[in-house]
Amino acid sequence: MKKKGKIEQAHRKKWQNRVLIIGGVGVVVLLIAGGLRLMKHRQSEEQTAAAPASATVATTVDPVEAKVDQTLAKMSLEEKVGQLFLARVPAEGQTGDIQSCHLGGYLLFSRDFENETPETLKAKIQSYQNAASTPMLIASDEEGGEVTRISSVDGLTDGHFGSPQAVYASGGLDAVKADTDHKSQILKDYGINYNLAPVADVATDSGSFIYSRTAGLDAGGTAEYIKVVVTAMKANQEGSCLKHFPGYGDNGDSHGEIIRDDRSLDTFEQTDFVPFEAGIDAGADSVLVSHNIMSCLDAAEPASLSGAVHDYLRNTLHFDGVIITDDFDMKGLSDFIDQDNGAVQAVQVGNDMMISSTYKDQIPSVVQAVQNGTLSESAIDASVRRILKMKINLGIITL
């Protein structure tokens, strides 16, 4: 009996140990399972907490793009085409033309400043904006030196704007920045929000047409000059315009004749394009294309009407801002093609804006070209988008 009792006690202890082991394993399993459930719960909470942020990122809309979309959607074809024209201010009917032609901007010349006081000039410019359904670019050529409109009239500025060379000689790039700030503030105070400057041309011959309007420096020095000017203009929200692409060099004046430039592409890339690249990198708002024939890219068409030149500017130099033609009245273009066909071709090859005094005839020609399929409305829309974005970035159109 004693032996049997001991055996039974041994069996009971053995089973108790097994129960303890099984129970311990069960507790461990439960703890692990609980821990996994807790981890999954925390992960779920973290994912839930993160979800709104992710959704916000995914649905964030660029306010500039949204404003462009909103504005463009409300425009008729005629209104969109009108935005492509930076018109010379007509002698009469200025506000009427703004309303009937839906002009993108006005370009002021010397006659528009004559006999004006600071008060009357501000009022006149404001009357243009008041007449516009889409706020306008109000432009002037204010390079300084021999090309200045507003400072050539007594009483409108505190002195004649100095030429790029004179300003640079007076104190280097620091003087250039100070001069650009000063000039930009004067222009903005009058409501002139777009200066057709700086001159990015490089000329080596002091007797050449464009030399006196340049910084008078080599390609590298001109690039530094352009960078300083564009950066200062951008800081002042004054529209900038690099001109005259692809670069005049030492050639003649396309105001009076058709100019053919037979230099190699390598020469342009090593010299003329260097300041334009610097200006583009600095955030220039626009590039003005000259009427010179650049033979190495297009021996048949003026640069302003050349698809190859515009393709190079967009896809090789990567400029995504507004491309604008030089004045349509210049002999380098007017002796080459008539105004109406020229306007249609200008849009076809990639210009966003045209400087024109015959806009009343050109606008209907461009509209008709869209209607008959010669031009696509999507191309018009792309140009208007760039123009509207420029106006928003300059604070002309508010968000």
Indicate the domain borders of the chain: 1-60, 63-393
- Phi, psi (rounded to 5 degrees) for 363: -60, -50
d(CA 78, CA 59): 33
The values of phi and psi at residue 381, to 5°, are -60, -40
Cα 12 to Cα 8, 9, 27, 259, 286: the distances in Å are: 6, 5, 22, 114, 96
What does 310-361 look like in DSSP terms, one character per residue? HHIIIIIS---SEEEEEETTSHHHHTTS-HHHHHHHHHHHT-SEEEES-HHH
Give me the numbers of helices (H) and strands (E) for the chain, helices first please. 14, 12
Spatial separation of the C-alpha atoms in residues 292 and 333, rounded to whole Å: 9
User: What is the pTM for the complete model shown?
Assistant: 0.85
Evaluated on CA atoms 65, 236, 326, 275, the torsion sign reads negative
In single-letter form, the type of residue at position 192 comes to I
d(CA 190, CA 126): 9
- Residue 99 CA from chain centroid, whole number: 25
Per-residue pLDDT of the chain (399 residues; tens, 9 = 90+): 443 344 344 444 443 444 333 344 343 333 334 444 444 444 444 444 444 444 444 568 899 999 999 999 999 999 999 999 999 999 999 999 999 999 999 999 999 999 999 999 999 999 999 999 999 999 999 999 999 999 999 999 999 999 999 999 999 999 999 999 999 999 999 999 999 999 999 999 999 999 999 999 999 999 999 999 999 999 999 999 999 999 999 988 878 878 899 999 999 999 999 999 999 999 999 999 999 999 999 999 999 999 999 999 999 999 999 999 999 988 778 888 898 899 999 999 999 999 999 999 999 999 999 999 999 999 999 999 999 999 999 999 999
Q: Please report which helix (H) or strand (E) contains residue 85, including its range.
A: strand 85-88
The CA distance from 361 to 299, in Å, is: 29
> 63-393 maps to which CATH number?
3.20.20.300
Helix (H, G, I), strand (E, B) or coil at 144: strand
Q: Please name every residue paired with 323 in a beta bridge, in sequence order, or none if there are none.
A: 287
Quote the tokens at residue 193. 């929000």
Label the pairing between strands 105-108 and 137-140: parallel
For 245, 316, 324, the CA distances from 210, given in Å and listed in that order, are: 13, 25, 19
